[in-house]
Structure 1
Amino acid sequence: MKAIIPAAGLGTRFLPATKSIPKELLPVLNKPVIQYVVEEAFEPEGVDGVVIVNSHEKPQIESYFTVDGEFESLLQSRGKAAEAQVVHEASSLPVSFVYQDDPKGLGHAVHCAADDIDGQPFFVLLGDYFVPDRKMCVRMAEVSKAHGGASVIAVAPVPADQVSRYGIIAGECVGSLDGNSAEDEQEGAVWKVTGLVEKPAPKDAPSHLFIVGRYLLSPRVMELLADQGVGAGGEIQLTDAMERLLAEEEMYALVVDPAEGCDTGTPAAWAATNARLALRDEASCAAFLEAMGNEAADKLA
């Protein structure tokens, strides 16, 4: 089974920095965002490779995941064996690349990896969101297994006045991941999806659950993307192919805690994620607060 990570976007929210540095390589503490996502992708049993959908305008991403023996030797010669080891581990991850040089939407990006899927189910992990404990996709795989290999998406509750910003699911709660009773929009609840509604008005929203950027999809989705027409924004939308899939196959959703993951999609969210993980890490917390200065540390407190 493969996991697909779309990474061909221009990162315009981070300009001018992303003129020369892909936003996927911006660091959260000492690792780039995309490494967190790649490591998360390998956590579910059966995932044996990650396909990054890149742009030829961003060769730095491919370089990052390529072994550089000369650089590792330099680190070794300077007594930095531990640093050489972490560099080698990152560049040795089983990552492959396909390219999307004409940005036509998320659905088009996912379909660029069609030849690598080989008729198997596949994960899609959006690259501006990662889950530090890496367990979200593992739980999604458990839901899929419990429902005959059906497609599963991760969803999270959003306040009613914000549903118009997101894609919202329609359906009904059919149980929970642990087999216990669960409130409809409580963490761990499992829904049977009957529809996907893009940015509904609050009064028209069929639920308050939005897709958080983690998908485990039937190979049929890849077939449907092959002839998927242009949708919202003049782009080929993954959700449109998923909507078509509902006419043929069952789909489920796992309700997750939105705070379980870390958003890096905007400069403010990226900075907040760095602060959040620095505060969580016992070794770096004190140094982080000291570097922030008294006034900033008091505000965080």
Structure 2
Amino acid sequence: MKAIIPAAGLGTRFLPATKSNPKELLPVLDKPVIQYVVEEALEPEGVDGVVIVNSHLKPQLEEYFGPKPELESYLRERGKDRYAEVVRESGELPVSFVYQDDPLGLGHAVLCAKDEVGDEPFFVLLGDYFVPDREMCVRMAEVSRAHGGASVIAVAPVSHDEVSRYGIVAGEQVGTLDGDDLDLEEPGSVLRLSGMVEKPAPEDAPTNLCIVGRYLLSPRVMELLQTQRPGAGGEIQLTDALERLLKEEEMYALVVDPAEGCDTGTPAAWVGTSARMALLDPATREAFLEALGDQALS
């Protein structure tokens, strides 16, 4: 099974920082965002490779995941074996690349990886969001197995006033991941989906559960994307293909905790995630608070 990470965007919200350095390579602590996502994608049992959908304008991504024997040797000669190991490990991750040079939408980006996926189910992980404990996709795979290999998407509750900013799902609760008695919107709740609505008005939203950027999808999705007409913004939308899939196959949603993941899609979100990770890491927490000085108390 493969996992797809769409990463062909040019990171315009981060300019000028992304003029020569892809957004996906901006670091959170000492690791670029894209590596967090790759490692998360490889966590579920059965995933043996990650396909990054890249742009030819960003060769740095492919270079990052390639071997660097000269750098490794340089570090080892100077007794910096720990650093040499992290260089080696990042170059040995099972990552391959396909290219999307025209911004034709998320659905088109996923379709670019069709040959690599073949006739197997596949994950899709959006590249500006990662889950530090890497467990979200693992739990999605559990839900899929419990429902005959059906497609599963991750959703999270948002406030009623925010539903118009997201893709919102409709469905009925059919159980929970661990068997506990949970409300519909509580993490661990499982829904059988009946529809999806892109950015509905609050009064029209069927629920307040939004799609958070993690999908485990049937191979049928690739076939549907090949005939999918452009939708919102003139782009091929993955959500449109999933709505068509619902007419043929059952789909499920796993409710997750909104605080479980880390957003890096905007400069403000990236700074917030960097601060959060610095506070969670015992190796950096004290130094980070010291660097903040009086600001840490305000």
TM (normalized to structure 1)? 0.98
| Cα drift, residue 4 of structure 1 | 0.1
Q: Match of 1:6, as an amino acid?
A: P
> Which ranges of 4 or more aligned residues in structure 1 deviate by more than 4 Å?
none
Aligned to 2:281: 281
What is the alpha-carbon distance in structure 1 between the residues aligned to residue 29 and residue 267 of structure 2? 15
Cα distance in 2, alignment partners of residues 265 and 235 from structure 1: 20
In structure 1, what residue type is equivalent to 2:284? S
Amino acid at match of 1:51: V
Segments of 5+ residues of structure 2 without an aligned counterpart are none
1:169 maps to a residue whose letter is: V
Q: How many residues align?
A: 298
Q: Give the match for residue 254 of structure 1.
A: 254
Q: Distance in 2 between matches of 1:168 and 1:137?
A: 19
Q: Using the alignment, how far apart are the partners of 1:124 and 1:172 within structure 2?
A: 24
- Structure 1 unpaired stretches of 5+: none
Q: How does 1:10-29 map to 2 (within 5 A)?
A: 10-29=10-29
1:193-220 Cα offsets, whole Å, 9 max, x none, are 1101000000100000000000000000
Paired residue for 1:195? Answer: 195
Q: Distance in 1 between matches of 2:194 and 2:161?
A: 22
Q: Which residue of 1 aligns with 2:146?
A: 146
Please state how far the C-alpha of 1:103 moved relative to its aligned partner. 1.0
Mapped to 2, the partners of 1:195 and 1:153 lie a distance apart of 12
CA–CA distance in structure 2, aligned partners of residues 180 and 147 of structure 1: 18
Aligned residue identity for 1:243: E
How many angstroms does 1:227 deviate by?
A: 1.0
Instruction: Report the residue type matching 1:76 in the other structure.
Output: R
The residue number in structure 1 matching 2:42 is 42
Between the aligned partners of 2:180 and 2:290, the Cα distance in structure 1 is 45
Post-superposition offset of 1:77: 1.3
**Over the residues paired in the alignment, what is the CA RMSD in angstroms?**
0.6
User: Partner of 1:72 in structure 2?
Assistant: 72
The separation in 2 between residues aligned to 1:126 and 1:106, in whole angstroms, is 9
Report the residue type matching 2:66 in the other structure.
T
Q: CA deviation at 1:180?
A: 2.1
Partner Cα separation in structure 1 for residue 297 and residue 114 of structure 2: 50
Partners of 2:206 and 2:66 lie apart in 1 by 46
Mapped partners of 1:285, 1:17: distance in 2 = 26
The aligned amino acid for 2:297 is: D
Given the two structures, how large is their TM-score scaled by the length of structure 2?
0.99
Counterparts of 2:146 and 2:182, CA distance in 1 = 17
The one-character-per-residue Cα deviations of 1:83-105 (angstroms, maximum 9, x if unpaired) are 00011001110000000011100
Question: Equivalences for 1:134-173 in 2 at 5 Å?
Answer: 134-173=134-173
1:200-215 superposed matches below 5 A: 200-215=200-215
The equivalent of 1:61 in structure 2 is 61
Aligned-pair CA distance for 1:269: 0.4
CA drift at 1:249? 0.1
Whole-angstrom distance in 1 between the partners of 2:153 and 2:262: 17
Query: Which amino acid counterpart does residue 296 of structure 2 have in structure 1?
Result: A
Give the percent of matched residue pairs that are identical in Structure 1 and Structure 2: 75
Q: Which residue of structure 1 lines up, in the alignment, with residue 128 of structure 2?
A: 128
Code of the residue aligned with 2:186 in structure 1: it is Q
Equivalent-residue separation in structure 2 for 1:72 and 1:55 (angstroms): 28
**Structure 2: how far apart are the matches of 1:17 and 1:242?**
35
Rounded Cα–Cα distance in structure 2 between residues aligned with 1:20 and 1:143: 41
Cα displacement (A) at 1:271: 0.3
CA deviations 1:3-22 (Å, max 9, x no partner) are 00000001011011111110
1:297 aligns with 296
